[in-house]
Amino acid sequence: MSRRPRARAAPQGRAQGCVVPGTALLLLAYLAYLALGTSVFWALEGRAARESGRGFQLDKWELLQNFTCLDGPALDSLIRDIIQAYKDGAHLLGNTTSMGRWELVGSFFFSVSTVTTIGYGNLSPRTRAARLFCILFALVGIPLNLVVLNRLGHLMQQGVHSCARRMGGTWQDPAKARWLAGSSTLLSGLLLFLLLPPLLFSHMEGWSYEEGFYFAFITLSTVGFGDYVIGMNPSRSYPLWYKNTVSLWILFGLAWLALIIKLVLSLLETPGGTCSCCHHGSKGRSWRQGPDGEPESSCPQPGCCPERPVGLTEYLGPSPPDVGCGKDG
């Protein structure tokens, strides 16, 4: 009895060709959504912030004109105005160029911190319309942000796979190539997203390296305590590219950190004595007919061998050849 031929796998080139355009469209939709949030927050909160700043200036001049008659209630009123003006991002000192919180760049940074769920807590919408829009914006933006981070992490992993395959073909040593590619990914990510940014923060904000590293980790882990936030020192002048660069650093840093967390979770959740690929359902299997007429599955996923757990660099490296998992238990 002739055996049935195995189903031919789809060409990898066609599948990879569909990934890049889909990712580009997804990134365009993501940036368009952030642009929508930036413009709406800028329009709704910018006017209120400017009016609050002008009101504070009027109160300050009235206090200076009536300085000899200053009493307790007037001083309390001034203190309340100062606190409210600080929350609104007004310039409290005369010769400062502090970055406006509800300007175009500040609104974009607020949109990024909202959809990434960082939520520093130093800035929040005050108008009723902006609060209602913030709820709807976060309701759609948070899932969209997760999809974008997952896609970026997947593209990073594919780039490491390609690099490891090239080095493995050149050195004729796939195991060494996988180890080197995985280690290079970890070290380059640590250098680019956690070790070098504190130098920029120290230069722009006047923080120590330890404070900058603390801010970088708290931000990328989406904890966002709000005790350290960029662009908040009224005695410093910030260029326009500063917050935009930090926003891009947050986006790609979250994608890299999500990839590392995903790989660590895979290591922790993969049992050492079972075939992990058989827990993913029939979507990732290729079926064939066995000698006794019963179907058998062939798992193409990495880490299918039950003899040993899969290492981190093997997840980052290229997928090993197909290994048969035997009959479905």
Provide mean pLDDT across the span 70-95: 67
The distance between the two most distant Cα atoms of the chain, rounded to a whole number of Å, is: 109
- Could you report the per-residue pLDDT of 198-250, keeping only the tens digit for each? 999 999 999 999 999 999 999 998 888 888 989 878 778 888 889 889 989 99
For 133-153, b where at least 16 C-beta lie within 10 A, e where not — what string? bbeebbeebeeebeebbebbb
Give residue 317's Cα distance to chain centre: 23
| pLDDT at residue 62 is higher than 70 | yes
The single-letter DSSP state of residue 282 is G
Determine the pLDDT at residue 143. 94
Residue 53's contacts (CB-CB under 8 Å, 6 or more residues apart) are 85, 88, 90, 91
On whether the pTM is more than 0.75, the answer is no
| pLDDT at residue 29 is higher than 60 | yes
Contact yes or no for 242/211 (Cβ under 8 A): no
CA–CA distance from 24 to each of 19, 29, 44, 91, 115 (Å)?
Answer: 9, 9, 30, 39, 19
CB atoms within 10 A of CB 185: 24
Give domain limits for the chain.
101-268
Residues in the chain: 329
Determine the pLDDT at residue 115. 94
Contact yes or no for 92/82 (Cβ under 8 A): yes
Closest by CA position to 316, among listed 209, 172, 159, 211: 159
Q: Which residue has the higher pLDDT, 39 or 156?
A: 39
Determine the pLDDT at residue 140. 95
Topology (CATH) of 101-268? Helix Hairpins (1.10.287)
Provide mean pLDDT across the span 87-98: 56
Contact yes or no for 210/228 (Cβ under 8 A): no
What tokens were used for 33?
């959504």
What tokens were used for 212?
């900058």
- Ranges of beta strands (E only) in the chain are 286-289, 295-299, 323-324
